[in-house]
């Protein structure tokens, strides 16, 4: 799968055990009725690998083939399911940004300053772009600089 011009690995319930406890740099998720990848969750690990799953069941409307339950998703990204189920913000260690139209972004706190710098630079080079379109490039840029 390609999203934001990057190769993304689709994951489902069969991948939960291999992803439990992974080091996550950022994650973006969409509410069930959001614009874009509704019900979708993008996970960017600190090694710059990008994963995608959905907490909705696959259908012709959703446009994806793999999914996992909120209970499974909680094992990988507890902050997402707490937010989805209880609407609780903020989470210790994470910075939250609302991306608009039902889309939410969490960036690990220790990456936030570098992330903001990267976003500012990207916004200057593409003044009509919005954070929803820039966040993944910004995260990947700071992760590659950390190598």
Total domains present in the chain: 1
Q: Does residue 136 lie in a domain region? A: no
Q: What is the pLDDT, as a whole number, of residue 101?
A: 94
What confidence tens digit (pLDDT) does each residue in 82-113 have?
777 776 765 678 899 999 999 999 999 999 99
Q: What is the pLDDT, as a whole number, of residue 36?
A: 84
Report the C-alpha gap between 147 and 2 in whole angstroms: 23
Give φ, ψ of 11 to 5 degrees: -125, 155
3-state SS of the chain: helix, strand, coil percent to 5? 40, 25, 35
Q: What is the pLDDT, as a whole number, of residue 141?
A: 96
Task: Specify the pTM.
Answer: 0.91
Report the C-alpha gap between 13 and 146 in whole angstroms: 31
Q: Does residue 114 lie in a domain region? A: no
Structural domain for 105, as ranges? 2-109
How many CA atoms within 13 Å lie on the side-chain side of 49? 8
- Across residues 143-147, what is the average pLDDT? 75
Q: Does residue 98 lie in a domain region? A: yes
Q: Does residue 58 lie in a domain region? A: yes
Q: Does residue 96 lie in a domain region? A: yes
């Amino acid at each position: 799968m390609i999203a934001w011009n990057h190769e993304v690995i689709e994951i489902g319930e069969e991948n939960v055990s291999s992803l439990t406890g992974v080091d996550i740099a950022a994650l973006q998720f969409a509410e069930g009725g959001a614009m874009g990848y509704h019900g979708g969750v993008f996970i960017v690990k600190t090694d710059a690998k990008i994963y995608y799953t959905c907490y909705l069941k696959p259908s012709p409307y959703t446009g994806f083939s793999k999914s996992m339950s909120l209970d499974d998703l909680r094992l990988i990204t507890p902050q997402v399911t707490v937010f989805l189920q209880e609407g609780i913000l903020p989470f210790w260690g994470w910075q939250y940004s609302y991306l608009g139209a039902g889309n939410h972004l969490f960036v690990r706190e220790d990456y936030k300053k570098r992330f903001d710098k990267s976003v500012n630079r990207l916004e200057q080079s593409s003044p009509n772009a919005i954070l929803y379109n820039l966040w993944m490039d910004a995260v990947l840029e700071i992760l590659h600089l950390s190598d």
